Amino acid sequence: MAFQLPEFNLECAVCFDEGGVPGTLKETAMCNLAYGRRGLASLYATPSGDPTLVWVYAEILLPSGTDVQDSSFGGSPDWLEVPLFTGRWFRVAYVDLVGAGFPNEHVLCLAYKSLTWTPPLGSIYSGTVARKEWKGRPHVRT
């Protein structure tokens, strides 16, 4: 069976880092949020350098060409809000292309849960998450 392009079933916000918090919106994109499906050797890391703080990575899959960056690009890593308008923020730790040059090419973004999530999270499928203005700016779909 050939590898297939992942289904991008959620919309997310990709934002610049501004002083350790999400800043200016770079773009919105469709994505796929998964935990541990890629069989990576380690899904754990210590982003602060403190071995007593262990984070579990989320795997966020994005269409090829999505402008999301980790610190290897020479700046602060981006932030992702997945799904859009839920307040579920992830800090980007690692970005790479999967299936580069093949029809199933897409972006793999390893990110860790960050900031404070306000319960209840609500179901992202039932429509209980209300649409709202993002950081005071209206959301514009292209």
Give the confidence band of 1 by pLDDT, cuts at 50, 70, 90.
very low
pLDDT at residue number 47: 55
Give the confidence band of 88 by pLDDT, cuts at 50, 70, 90.
confident
Q: How many of the other CB atoms lie within 10 Å of CB of 105?
A: 14
> Quick one: average pLDDT of 23-27?
95
In this structure, what DSSP letter does residue 134 have?
A: B
Residue of higher predicted confidence among 112 and 136: 112
Task: Please choose, from the candidates 15, 3, 26, 20, the residue with its C-alpha nearest in 3D space to the C-alpha of residue 142.
Answer: 26
Task: Please choose, from the candidates 80, 74, 13, 71, the residue with its C-alpha nearest in 3D space to the C-alpha of residue 45.
Answer: 71
By CB atoms closer than 10 A (0-12, 13-18, 19+), residue 62 is buried
Residue 10 has φ and ψ, to the nearest 5°, of -125, 155
User: What are the structural domain ranges in the chain?
Assistant: 10-114
- pLDDT (tens digit per residue) in 34-84: 765 555 544 455 555 555 555 567 889 999 999 999 999 889 999 999 999
Cα(38)–Cα(58) distance, integer angstroms = 11
What distances in angstroms separate CA 45 from CA 50, 91, 131, one per listed residue? Answer: 10, 13, 33
> Quick one: average pLDDT of 5-16?
93
Rounded to 5°, the CA angle 63-68-74 comes to 145
Mean pLDDT score across all residues of the chain = 76
- pLDDT (tens digit per residue) in 98-118: 999 999 999 999 998 887 766
Q: Considering the entire predicted model, what is its pTM?
A: 0.73
